[in-house]
Structure 1
Amino acid sequence: TVLLSLDVFGFSVSRSALDVTGSPRTHVPVCSGGVPASFPARTIKSVCWEKFARYFEVELKEVKLSEGYYVMDPEKAVEMVDENTICVAAILGSTLNGEFEDVKLLNDLLVLKNKETGWDTPIHVDAASGGFIAPFLYPELEWDFRLPLVKSINVSGHKYGLVYEGIGWVVWRTKEDLPEELIFHVNYLGVDQPTFTLNFSKGSSQVVAQYYQLIRLGHKGYRNVMENCRENTIVLREGLEKTEKFNIVSKDEGVPLVAFSLKDSSSHTEFEISDMLRRYGWIVPAYTMPPNAQHITVLRVVIREDFSRTLAERLVIDIEKVMRELDKLPSRVVHKISLGEEKSEANGDKLRVTVKKSDMEMPREIINGWKKLVSDRKKTNGIC
């Protein structure tokens, strides 16, 4: 398992260090070396990173997203690096839209900054989602140990590693990149056993399952699985595009998923679509983007190994049904009520009051709105 895993990440086996743990916890041993002070370049808030920063009193610096650009900007990330930075983290497979961050550009920019400053700031790649995708679908993409500043990589075996939930892998470039002071040695099991995880007693079934999958499928098998996922992603994306109702937010190169938003959300929202799809047996999350892009709402469908072409076509059909049902419902109307064009005696301004109410809201709320409207009118010019 160790040999195969390291081969996937483009690295020689001879001088490596590897650990097996639950995927979210891999960030703690990875980033705990040295004296933590600042840790820039997170673009998407994840509770595992926030826990690490709080437990180890690390300043977590985040590169803000912007509309249309939902991954880390390497130039902005490098600008945030200072002499106390312990590492820069890049995501291979955004939670929001599956996009791969440009680890190669980040590495090149950071190499220049390290030369200018004399610092030695490394890179950690959070490949939880993309670590078992990029090696098979995009083998020429440089994101792993082929880049000199990439010192550690974590990947989830329970995502596209095709194993049960709860297994994650973290690989260091060399043993020297894993500080010795973080390793504890115990011999109460009869032999010396080094350990540096935060996990305690845990079964080995997940490790065995990962070993079985790697042996059974091999490179060719994993490549076939990932290519099939990509093909079904294309089927779903093209089906949604044909409806002419959605903008595709996800990218062609990345995790096999489709993230999309409504072209026109004035009548209905992505949350309504998500809710109504449950009636057809689909759990499709709707969520807003992080700050600076939080006015954007998207739906996301992750294509797994067992998500067939037939299911992709069926999902498109069910989404079209939902859209037709929503079109039959009353729209979210904005009522503009003009209370006269006469000028106010007080200040000579035209008086126009706009009340925004949904036709689907409770009648009591509508009545209260009208009462407030009349009350405000009385206070303004004394006319009922």
Structure 2
Amino acid sequence: MTSTINPTTGELATRVAIVRAKAATPGFEEPIAPADVDIEAWNHVGDPLAEALVEFMRDHKLMSGDFYATARRLQAEGEPTAEAFFADVEHIPAWVDFDAMRPGADMGRRNPIGMMMGMHGALPATYTDPATARVMASTGRLEKGGVDFHRRFWETASGFAGALDVDGMRPGGPRWEQWVRIRLLHTMIRLGILRSGRWDLSESTPISQLATAAATHLFGPYRVEIIRSFGGIATREEEDSFALMWRWISRIEGANTELLGTTPDEQFAVSRRIHQFLYRPDADSVALTHSLLDGLNTMRAFPLPRRGHQAVLRRIGTAEMARTMGDVDFADGLGVNPAPLAEFLLSLAALGLRGFNQITRVPLVRRAASKHGQGLLDYVVTRGLERRTAQYRPTPVRHDPDSAKGTTSEKKSA
């Protein structure tokens, strides 16, 4: 039994038990209408399969070294928790079509500026869920932009850039492995928070299934809207392809197929329900957003003044852009004040980019931009990581007794 069984009672506890059983079933697939998904119950479920594996590793003092390599070794040795975990993460749902992901990946590679600017919107959009903001606070990332802000930012960007390598995103591929490592990272953080005893489980579990699935739209279709806002050209086919890519990534990350839909329209319908359920920005949400803006202001990859970063978020943090949060401009909810001059100058820059990007309609230029775009994104990320490999290792969680004692690799890897 893992520590993620929550103390809800009565009818909700019954519903939570039902969806938790689905999450604990490797490769679970069962059709369900978006309107019938039990959004509230899924917010009380984490990742039972990954939690069982990590708890086994922790109990057997296997938390040092390479987590992924250790998990693979346990799988080869026949350890049931490792076998179940990899059976789930290697399962390819019926709706996954890797060839259908290629147009979206091609679009992303052609638009490196829009892809990078997407970080300004997609990351803060996740902070509108107060539970996500509390998770960040638990790892100390609200302080001075986070003690490891740059490393964490570029490790996140590494996963985003790698997702455009479709063949590398197949089970066993190097880009796929990046996301499996991130899933294990999230699990370690979740368990560390739960060990701290300072999470109100009557409201949710940290890094819940719902929070994981919420990223599907924000890093998929919403990012396509950001690319368009900065002059990029993206067709509806490419948008749907990009959405498919992010449904697959969310599945690798442990989100149950019930929360992802089987088509772009189903995914949008479920995401809209998720976002409107989770949208409750609080003081931590605001603090985390301003910490992100302050951190971006220190990064050479984004040569903008603080008000410039603020203007970017004001431009893309709108109801019209996000489309799933109702009629609210989430930039307002996150306490991002207007910056009129910076916003005006940014609109002129976006207009210029829109004109410049028309050249990508020429087939030869289009192919060249796609060919070299992946290399450019990987180069920027590598420079951001100071040429070190992304480690995806957890930051120590406040009040976690294991972190305090220094008995886990979380402490060693800080």
Q: TM-score, normalised by structure 1?
A: 0.27
Q: TM-score, normalised by structure 2?
A: 0.26
Structure ranking higher in helix proportion: 2
Structure ranking higher in strand proportion: 1
Point out which structure has higher relative CO (alpha carbons under 8 A, 6+ apart): 2
